[in-house]
């Protein structure tokens, strides 16, 4: 009887942990920059890449981590797009970023600016999924 009870408890605990794990999914992306447009509308070439991890739940809420940025983006994910925004303070200046990724084409834009100022940049490029781990 004790063994059967312990077995039932183990099954219940395992089912709860599997369901909790299944409620959150992660996508890993490499986003390569192509060009940037500044606040005056001037376009310039941009190189480099950002690595993103998008964690989302069944209800469409998403948390996006951008490599080398301590702040997390909060947003949503749908079949069509991933959208998020974040604000963070460095010394006395508050910065704001918005992110939008098309899930079908991979096209992305990241808006970067200082809150309360009309200056800023919009970076454009393309994201691809990370398919393999290096180690």
d(CA 80, CA 46): 26
Q: Examine residue 15 and state whether it is found in any structural domain, yes or no.
A: no
Instruction: Write the pLDDT tens digit of every residue in 81-90.
Output: 999 999 999 9
Q: Between these two residues, 37 and 12, which has the higher pLDDT value? A: 37
* Cα–Cα distance, 34 to 36 (Å, whole number): 7
Closest CA to 58 of 80, 85, 78, 28: 78
Residue 107 lies in a domain: yes
Domain assignment present for 114: yes
pLDDT tens by residue, 113-135:
998 787 899 999 999 999 887 78
18: in domain: no
Question: In sequence order, what E strands does 1-135 have?
Answer: 24-38, 43-45, 49-57, 61-66, 72-77, 81-90, 93-102, 107-114, 120-129
**Looking at residue 65, what is its pLDDT?**
95
HSE-up (13 A, CA, CB side) for residue 118: 3
| pLDDT of 6 | 40
Domain assignment present for residue 12? The answer is no
Please state, for a pLDDT cut of 70, what percent of the chain lies above it. Answer: 83
Predicted local confidence at residue 3, as pLDDT:
40
Contact between 42 and 34 (Cβ < 8 Å):
no
Q: Is the pLDDT of residue 22 over 60?
A: no
**Tens-place pLDDT, residues 40-60:** 999 999 999 999 999 999 999
Question: Which CATH number fits the domain that encloses residue 108?
Answer: 2.40.160
Residue 90 forms part of a structural domain: yes
pTM assigned to the model: 0.77
Domain count, the chain: 1
Inside any domain, residue 47: yes
Structural domain span for residue 53: 24-129
Q: Is the pLDDT of residue 12 over 60?
A: no
């Amino acid at each position: 009887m004790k063994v059967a009870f312990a077995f039932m408890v183990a099954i219940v605990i395992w089912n709860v942990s599997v369901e909790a794990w299944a409620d959150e999914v992660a996508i890993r992306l490499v986003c390569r920059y192509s060009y940037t447009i500044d606040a005056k509308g001037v376009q310039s070439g941009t190189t480099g890449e950002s690595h993103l991890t998008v964690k989302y739940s069944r209800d469409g809420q998403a948390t996006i981590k951008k490599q080398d940025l301590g702040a997390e983006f909060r947003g949503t994910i749908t079949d069509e797009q991933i959208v998020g925004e974040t604000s963070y303070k460095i010394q006395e200046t508050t910065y704001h970023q918005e992110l939008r990724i098309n899930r079908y084409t991979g096209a992305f834009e990241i808006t970067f600016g200082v809150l309360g100022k009309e200056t800023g940049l919009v970076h454009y490029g393309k994201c691809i999924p990370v398919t393999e781990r290096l180690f």
